[in-house]
Structure 1
Amino acid sequence: MERWKLYAFAAAVFAGLTSVIAKAGLKTLGADVGLAVRTAFVFVFIMLNTWLWTGTSKAAVALQSAGWRSITLLALSALTTTLSWICYYRAMKEGTVTYVSLIDKGSIIVTLALSVLLLGEPFTWRIAGGAALILTGLLVLTGGK
C-alpha cells in the first residue's frame, strides 16, 4: 500500500478517536475552553513533531523560502480550521458526538467540489458516484435528527 494511503487511514482512525475523547473531556468544560486546551496541546505536539522529524534549522530555511503566497494560504487554512473547530466543539458539547461527527465528515462533499473547481483536480464518474453515496449515507443516517 502506498504511504499516503496509510497516513490517510491513520488520520481517519485518529480523527475518530479524537471526537470520542474530546466529547468525554467536555463533560466539565465549556466548548470554547475545552477547544483552547486541546489546541494548546496540539501546538506543542506539532512543534515537537517538526523538531524531531524536520529539525529547527531545516524548518526555518523552508519557511524563508516558502514565499508569502504559501504562508498566506496556510494562514487562511488555519482560519478555516479554527472556525470549523469552534463550530464542531460547540455542536459536540450540545449534541450527540455520533451525529455531529457524521455531519462534519460530510465536508468531503465540499472538499471534492472545491478541489475540482479551485485546484483543477480530476472529477470522474467514480468520484461522482462515491460522493453521491456519501451524501446519500449522510442523509439516511441523519434523517429525522
Structure 2
Amino acid sequence: FITGTQSGIVDISKKSWIFLILSGLATGASWLCYYKALQIGEVSKVVPIDKLSIVLTILLAFIFLGEHVTVKALIGCVLIVAGTFVMIL
C-alpha cells in the first residue's frame, strides 16, 4: 500500500491464494505450538530445537527445489546442529 501496487492483488491466482492462506494458518499454528512448548518446557531447550527448522528448510530446498549443495551450506548446517546440541546439554 505504501508503494501503490495493491492493484496487483487481484492478479493473484486462486491456487496462490489457497497456498497463502494455508501458509498463514500453518505459521499461526506453529507459533501457538512454540509458545505452548515454552510454557511447559525449559526455554534453553525449546529454542535451540526450534532453530533446527533452518536445517530442515535447507535440506528440503536441496531435495525438492533442486538447490545446489555447497560446502558453505553444509558447514553452516553442521554448525547449527552442533550448536543446538551444545545448548541442549
Please state which band the TM-score falls in when normalised by the shorter chain: 0.7 to 0.9
Q: Is the 8 A contact 2:45 2:88 kept in 1?
A: yes
Q: Deviation at 1:92?
A: 1.1
Say which SS state the counterpart of residue 69 (structure 2) adopts: coil
Q: Deviation at 1:141?
A: 1.4
Pair 1:118-2:64 in alignment: yes
Structural mapping, 1:1-145, within 5 Å:
51=1, 53-55=2-4, 58-59=5-6, 61-143=7-89
Partner amino acid for 1:79? Answer: L
Partner amino acid for 1:91? Answer: A
**TM-score (norm. length: structure 2):** 0.81
Deviation string for 1:112-133 (max 9, x for gaps)? Answer: 0112222222221211111011
Partner amino acid for 1:112? Answer: I
Partner amino acid for 1:89? Answer: Y
**Inter-partner Cα distance in structure 2 for 1:98 and 1:141:** 7
Structure with higher helix content: 1
Which one has more relative contact order, counting CA pairs under 8 Å at least 6 apart?
2
Deviation string for 1:2-48 (max 9, x for gaps)? Answer: xxxxxxxxxxxxxxxxxxxxxxxxxxxxxxxxxxxxxxxxxxxxxxx
**TM-score (norm. length: structure 1):** 0.54
How many residues in Structure 1 have an aligned counterpart in Structure 2? 89
Q: Which runs of 5+ in 2 are unaligned?
A: none
Query: What is the aligned-residue RMSD (CA, Å)?
Result: 1.8
